[in-house]
Amino acid sequence: MHRTRPAGAIIALITVLALMAAACSGGRDEGGTNTTGPGGTAGGGEGGFSIDLANCESYQPTQGVTEDSITFGSSFPQSGLYSAFAKISVGYEAYFRYLNETQGGVAGKKIKVITRNDEYLPDRTLANTQELVQKEGVFGMFNVVGTPNNLAIRDELADQCVPNLFVATGSPRWGEVESYPWLIGSIPSYATEAAIFADYLKKNKPTAKVAVLYQNDDFGESYLTAFRAAIEGSEIEVVKTATYNTTDPEPRDQITTLAASGADTALLAATALKCPQSLNLIRESSWNPLIYISATCTSSTVVGLAQPGANDGVLSSIYLKDPSDPQWDDDPAMQQFRQFGAQYGISAEDLENGIVGYGWTMGALLAETLRRSPEITRQAVMETAYSLKDVQVGLLLPGVTINTDGAKDPFPIEQMQIGRYNGKYWELVGELTSLEGKSGQFTK
């Protein structure tokens, strides 16, 4: 039996209408105001790299740029398991405030960043990016966190010819400049890092027997593949490998297996909580290898989670000045970071955090790229980003300079130094190693 419910249906409809009206604002505006047809390439940055606009679905060279400002968008986890990455934005937002207030931004334009929370979910990153580009009208994306997240947005941004600058992930896939000239990486690729550790071993432990623990995905495999390529022809050998899944509670069995292999060196291509867990498990066993951990774990908030003693003497690769390291107390760049960082919104606790220092450095890198760009158009800025010469900004270690040259040299940071953790900060060991222009060769 059916009951009559005209009012029910109407009330439901009114509810939906009201919600729709509340949800949305503004009409559909097809086509931008300053769209130019696809076509010719204007003279680019200082180098020879140029981007062909023929493949652009629609090219809007100066969206997001006004008389006195240039607006970027960013998407990263601000809540949930990965929200530690949100600290990066603390660094660059303070840098932009400092730059805007003391120097009026770059070329008279203040730099603004609109951020969105994606909780590390790629579909949310995509939705956020679409909103930022279409509704907020940003010039480009900046420092989007996460490899899958950037993979989710890179095709669309490439087709619309929107810059995706200095992404906060080290996947070797960011070297695919031929197909994706609108995305550029920032941190050293994981492959670069593994090669630098191999280089350290060749010099200091030329007959090392290495056990590798790696995350069962592209991230972990990048290390293993590159490390194997880098030790070819040397007497170093990989004697045992073990993998874990990100969903595993802890890599206990894997560490037991590796410990039994008789290796004297451990390469831990692990990240987040798995780093301190692995260090603790090794400490608990009777195994006493030389340990290398991924540079993604070097933040004191991660490596500091290991039990006292478990992280002593652990090695990793460093390319930024550690704010906790007293040797930089008199360093002008560090003093600038401390003084203006505190003045423009970084808390005392965050000033000691390496990941905030990374954000500060990325802010400086973006500003420098805009400064060097012959004009503020999407094409010119992207071409400049891929033609950087000898850029030394923010908290980069002495000797680390950023050089890029399109597909020939796509990775901005390729010099690193081995650091040894002493329980408080990373002590620099040996010489800076440079793989400038060579990172690509370790990817496969």
Partner 1 sequence: MRRDARWWIGRVVAGVLLGGLLLWLPQSYPAFRVNQFSLVITYAIAALGLNLLTGFNGQISVGHGAFFGVGAYTVVILVADHGWPHFAALAMAMLLTFVLGLVVGLPALRIHGLYLALVTLALATVFPQIVVRFRDLTGGTQGKRIPRAEEFVAPGWTGLANDQWRYYVLLAFAVVAFVAVRNLIHSRAGRAIIAIRDNETAAVTLGVPHRAYKVLVFGVSAMLAGMAGGLAKFYDPFVSSGQYTINLSIILLVAVVVGGTARILGPAIGAFLVVFIPIWLPEQYPQLSGVFFGASLIVLMMLAPGGILGLGTKLRLWASGQWRSRRPGPTSLEPGAVASES
| CA distance readout (Å), 248 to 243, 271, 298, 350 | 10, 13, 21, 30
Q: Is 288 in the site for partner 1 (CB under 8 A)?
A: no
Six-digit token string for 238: 């990989």
217: contact with partner 1 by CB under 8 A:
yes
Identify which of residues 162 and 236 has a Cβ nearer to partner 1 in the complex: 162
- Which one, 133 or 291, has the nearer CB to partner 1? 133
Interface with partner 1, residue 135, by CB under 8 A: yes
Closest CA to 174 of 147, 201, 192: 147
**Position among 32, 38, 148, 423 found at the interface with partner 1 (CB under 8 A):** 148
- Say which residue the tokens 């970071």 belong to: 337
The verdict on 273 binding partner 1 (CB under 8 A) reads: no
Q: Which is nearer to partner 1, 171 or 404 (CB)?
A: 171
Q: Which is nearer to partner 1, 20 or 348 (CB)?
A: 20
Total residues contacting partner 1 by CB under 8 A comes to: 57
Q: Which amino acid is at 25?
A: S
Q: For residues 18-57, which are near partner 1 according to CB under 8 A?
A: 19-20, 22-24, 26-30
Does position 348 bind partner 1 by CB under 8 A? no
Residue 71 or 401: which CB sits closer to partner 1?
71
Angle at 403 between CA 438 and CA 407, to 5 degrees: 60
339 burial type by CB count under 10 A (0-12 exposed, 13-18 middle, 19+ buried): exposed
d(CA 187, CA 296): 10
C-alpha neighbours within 13 Å on the C-beta side of residue 395: 34
Helix H segments across 386-439? Answer: none
Is residue 58 involved in binding partner 1 (CB under 8 A)?
no
**In this structure, are residues 278 and 305 in contact, taking their beta carbons and an 8 Å threshold?**
no
257-to-261, 282, 285, 429, 444 alpha-carbon distances in Å: 7, 11, 11, 30, 27
User: How many Å apart are CA 304 and CA 419, to the nearest integer?
Assistant: 15
In the complex, what is the shortest distance from the CB of residue 278 to partner 1, in angstroms, rounded to a whole number?
18
What is each CA distance from 438 to 117, 152, 222, 289, 356, in whole angstroms? Answer: 35, 27, 15, 29, 28
Q: Can you tell me which of 17, 54, 260, 429 binds partner 1, judged by CB under 8 A?
A: 17
Q: Please, which residue, 152 or 397, has the CB nearer to partner 1?
A: 152
Nearer to partner 1, 2 or 390 (CB): 2
Rg (CA), the chain: 24
**Of the candidates 32, 58, 84, 151, which one interacts with partner 1 according to CB under 8 A?**
151
First-residue to last-residue Cα distance in the chain: 68
Question: Which residue lies nearer to partner 1 by CB, 13 or 107?
Answer: 13
Q: Please identify, using beta-carbon distances, which residue of 126 and 229 lies nearer to partner 1.
A: 126
Indicate which single residue of 101, 159, 235, 436 sits in contact with partner 1 (rule: CB under 8 A): 159
Coil/strand/helix, residue 33: coil
Is 79 a binder of partner 1 (CB under 8 A)?
yes
CA distance 395 to 91: 11
Q: Which of 11, 18, 54, 260 binds partner 1 (CB under 8 A)?
A: 11
Rounded Cα gap, residues 275 and 281, in angstroms: 10
| Min CB(119)–partner 1 separation in Å | 9
Select the residue interacting with partner 1 from 32, 58, 84, 127 (CB under 8 A): 127
Kindly state whether residue 7 participates in binding partner 1, applying the rule CB under 8 A: yes
Taking CB under 8 A as the criterion, the residue among 58, 62, 69, 83 binding partner 1 is 83
In whole angstroms, the minimum distance from the beta carbon of 363 to partner 1 comes to 20
For residues 178-195, one letter each, b for 16 or more C-beta atoms within 10 angstroms of the residue's C-beta and e for the rest, the string is eebbbbbbbbbbbbbbbb
409 to 428: interface string for partner 1, x by CB under 8 A: --------------------
For residue 30, count CB atoms less than 10 angstroms from its CB and return exposed for 0-12, middle for 13-18, buried for 19 or more. Answer: exposed
Site string for partner 1, 237-266 (x = CB under 8 A): --------xxx-------------------
- Whichever of 34 and 103 has its CB closer to partner 1, that residue is 34
Interface positions with partner 1 (CB under 8 A): 1-13, 15-17, 19-20, 22-24, 26-30, 78-79, 83, 86, 116-117, 120-123, 126-127, 130-131, 133-135, 147-148, 151-152, 155, 159, 171, 216-219, 245-247
